[in-house]
Amino acid sequence: PSLDAQNAPGDLMRPGERTGFSSRLRPSIRPTLLSPHLVRCQLLPCCFPLLLGSRTRAHGGLKKGGATQQRRHKPNQSVSRTRLEIGGAKKRVGRASLGQQPKRVPTPSALREEGIWCGREMGTRRRGGGMPGAASLLLLACCCSVWPRAQILVAATTDATDLTALNTLFTSLNSPGQLKGWQVNGGDPCGESWQGITCSGSSVTAIKLPSLGLSGNLGYNMNTMSSLVEIDMSQNSLGGGQAIQYNLPTAKLERLNLAGNQFGGELPYSIFSMNNLKYLNLNHNQLQGKMTDVFSNLGSLTTVDLSFNSLTGDLPEGLSSLSSVKTLYLQNNQLTGSINVLADLPLSDL
């Protein structure tokens, strides 16, 4: 309800006069089609008396906060009914009219102060208590349904950037059903424990999906996963003869295992930037051409396995910079030339 434009702010009752609503305001309610927002604001306070089982006392008394307030009408007052349409459903509310005096619409706070129930007639008098009737229960359902779902917020655990990269990876792998919990869009890998995903807080730190019969390729935006420490997607059917994606994560990666797939082409140059890399295994793929010199910046690398590929040409000079390497497997390739670059390495297995 809103105030009539013709009503002046000072149009109040004289001292001592009372109405069915308040001693301060003229009683009059006009049928108004309310918007959903108004419905939410004005109906929700009316739900609480229904939930608490408030009851009307005999002879028009209203129970409010444990106290009973009696409602009195002057002899020339008449109680009439009007219908208030809310979202297509019709609820009855009371309207008291007082002669020909100017009308003043009570505010929702004034209605609450008087303890008036939404959807119940002012003139109705009930004796005793009891559970709310069908009309009251219908109103309660209306109150609950008008609250918008969009205001219910759920906080996700996984970092949004990591989630996007995993959604892309899932699509690049042709959305395999064997990856339990994975989704093309949305989801919460850390909170929902997606298969093969390890997290630290909200960041994805490991992707371990070996021997699952996966096909397709790696996602194009895996380099955005700045907290990734390990990737193990070995013994699948990835690549399809295509080169390994160049945009691999480099910031914190320590273990990269893509062995036993169908990757072709050369070594991805992004390996050069993996300063923390300790384990590199690309054996049993279809790598070919000269071995790309990606090793000069990998002082932490301890294990390198490039065996069973089709690499050709000389060993790159960068191999001499692997100051921590213990294991180097290069067999079953087509390499030529000198092996002097390996002379000073701390190898235990060549």
CATH code, domain with 261: 3.80.10.10
Of the listed ranges 15-29, 159-173, 238-252, 304-318, the one predicted with least confidence: 15-29
Percent of the chain with pLDDT over 90: 54
Encode the chain in three state secondary structure: CCCCCCCCCCCCCCCCCCCCCCCCCCCCCCCCCCCHHHHHHHHHHHHHHHHHCCCECHHHCEEECCEEECCCCCCCEEEEEEEEEECCEEEEEEEEEECCCCCCCCCHHHHHHCCCCCCCCCCCCCCCCCCCCHHHHHHHHHHHHHCCHHHCCCCCCCCHHHHHHHHHHHHHCCCCCCCCCCCCCCCCHHHHCCCCEEEECCEEEEEECCCCCCEECCCCCHHHCCCCCEEECCCCEECCCCECCCCCCCCCCCEEECCCCCCECCCCHHHHHCCCCCEEECCCCCCEEECCCCCCCCCCCCEEECCCCEEEECCCHHHHHCCCCCEEECCCCEECCCCHHHCCCCCCEC
34 inside domain: no
Write the pLDDT tens digit of every residue in 274-318: 999 999 999 999 999 999 999 999 999 999 999 999 999 999 999
Question: Does 141 reside within a domain?
Answer: no
Is residue 189, in this structure, part of any structural domain at all? no
Tally of domains within the chain: 1
Average pLDDT over residues 236-265: 95
91: in domain:
no
213 found inside a domain: yes
Residue 180 lies in a domain: no
Identify the domain containing residue 294 by its residue range: 201-349
Establish if 147 belongs to a structural domain: no
Answer yes or no: is pLDDT of 237 > 50: yes
Looking at the domain assignment, is residue 135 inside a domain? no
Q: What is the pLDDT of residue 1?
A: 45
Question: Is the predicted pLDDT of residue 159 greater than 90, yes or no?
Answer: yes
